């Protein structure tokens, strides 16, 4: 199903800011400890928010896609991201382990089933988790689809330059000309260097590159935020780590696995001018999952807080609240 109807202007772009009513830490192994939080209605309908990256971590604004009077909103920083520790740690950090972390968090929360909400890498993890545990999901709100295929990884490393040449030039500038034939290998050599100064500088350059390309219109403050140490070490190291390992997924796993979740309600929300995760991946997912509500936001890039995308995300959680569908 493709939705071409205009969004209801009564829906807020996002809900007002809220604070968590409960936070905590979950040790998942000898290396990693996860930060988690709950917001909204403790007795409400559970929804799980999955952030992007990998490694981007949570923002307080991520709580604002959901009616806090209706939803029990669960958010957490994935391994190596945000307030989870150690920041930027790539060892013992794989998609199957993240799926296991989600299950441990669900059990800790006493949740039987939840609505799963994720954008960008969060959509990747949402699909992987849902296909592993469909019985634990009530539906999916997916945005800026990333299937972590070789062609998508190559686009990120080599294709974005056609739309953001200045930003791309800054991305490749630290890499000697002789190494630019394999940018991923060149960056991995620096991101995983034993010299923390080398690693941190490479992470800042990688992360700032991504942050510069997220919106339809320039948002230099977002690029600056992505260049901060609090975000860049997670984004730079973990994106490269997952890219070089094809996200620990088999070939086209997330498309082939749609049969396991196609009976569940879902919405796919995609910015028309998303340069980070181009619309082709969302279209491929929709072709495999025609029952999903497919929405293209005509005046948006990649970021969740592009006005049209944010409004569509809130509209989706409102539809689920009112009808149980998406």
The pLDDT score that the predictor gives to residue 1 is 54
Q: What is the dihedral of CA 215, 98, 91, 120, to 10 degrees?
A: -10
Is residue 120 part of the annotated active site? The answer reads: yes
Q: Which position among 84, 101, 120, 281 bears the catalytic label?
A: 120
| Domain end call among 209, 230, 246 | 246
pLDDT at 13: 81
* Residues 281-311: tens digit of each pLDDT: 999 999 999 999 999 999 999 999 999 999 9
Residue % of the chain over a pLDDT of 70: 96
For the segment 55-72, the average pLDDT, to the nearest whole number, is 97
The whole-model pTM stands at: 0.96
Q: Where does the pLDDT of residue 128 fall: very low under 50, low under 70, confident under 90, or very high at 90 and above?
A: very high
The pLDDT assigned to 11 comes to 54
Residue 53 sits in the same domain as residue 135: yes
Residue 120 sits in the same domain as residue 214: no
Contact 6, 56 (CB under 8 A): no
Which tokens in the block code for residue 158? 């080599």
Q: Which of 67, 77, 101, 274 is catalytic?
A: 274
Give me the domain span that covers residue 156.
150-246
Q: What is the pLDDT of residues 176-206, one digit of tens each?
A: 999 999 999 999 999 999 999 999 999 999 9
Cβ count near 220 (within 10 Å):
9
Same domain? 157 vs 279? no
Q: What tens digit of pLDDT does each residue of 86-107 get?
A: 999 999 999 999 999 999 999 9
Total number of domains constituting the chain: 2
**Does the pLDDT at position 8 exceed 60?**
no
Specify whether 281 is catalytic.
no
Q: Are residues 238 and 271 in the same domain?
A: no
Dihedrals φ, ψ of 65, to 5°?
A: -90, 0
Do 237 and 254 belong together in one domain?
no
Provide the pLDDT for residue 186.
98
CB 73 within 8 A of CB 48: no
Computed over every residue of the chain, the mean pLDDT equals 95
Task: Clarify whether residues 137 and 165 are in a common domain.
Answer: no
């Amino acid at each position: 199903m493709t939705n071409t109807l205009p969004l209801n202007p009564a829906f807020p772009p996002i809900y007002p800011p809220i604070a968590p009513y409960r936070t905590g830490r979950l040790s998942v192994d000898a290396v990693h400890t996860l930060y988690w939080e709950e917001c909204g209605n403790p007795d409400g309908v559970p929804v799980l928010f999955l952030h992007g990256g990998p490694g981007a971590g949570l923002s307080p604004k991520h709580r604002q896609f959901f009616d806090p009077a209706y939803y029990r909103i669960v958010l957490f920083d994935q391994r190596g991201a945000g307030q989870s520790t150690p920041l930027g740690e790539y060892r013992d950090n794989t998609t199957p382990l993240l799926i296991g972390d989600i299950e441990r968090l669900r059990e800790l929360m006493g949740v039987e089933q939840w609505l799963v909400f994720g954008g960008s890498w969060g959509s990747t993890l949402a699909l992987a988790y849902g296909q592993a545990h469909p019985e634990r999901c009530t539906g999916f709100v997916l945005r800026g689809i990333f299937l972590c295929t070789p062609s998508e990884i190559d686009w990120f490393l080599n294709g974005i330059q056609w739309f953001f040449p200045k930003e791309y030039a800054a991305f490749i500038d630290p890499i000697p000309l002789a190494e630019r034939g394999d940018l991923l290998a060149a960056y991995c050599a620096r991101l995983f260097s034993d010299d923390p100064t080398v690693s941190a500088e490479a992470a800042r350059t990688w992360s700032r590159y991504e942050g510069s390309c997220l919106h339809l219109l320039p948002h230099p403050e977002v690029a600056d935020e992505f260049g901060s140490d609090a975000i860049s070490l997670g984004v730079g190291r973990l994106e490269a780590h997952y890219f070089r390992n094809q996200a620990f997924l088999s070939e086209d796993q997330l498309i082939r696995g749609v049969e396991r979740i196609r009976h569940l309600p879902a919405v796919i929300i995609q910015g028309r001018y998303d340069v980070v995760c181009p619309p082709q991946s969302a279209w491929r997912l929709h072709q495999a999952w025609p029952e999903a509500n497919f929405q293209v936001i005509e005046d948006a890039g990649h970021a969740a807080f592009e006005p049209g995308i944010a409004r569509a995300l809130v509209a989706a959680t409102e539809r689920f609240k009112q009808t149980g569908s998406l």
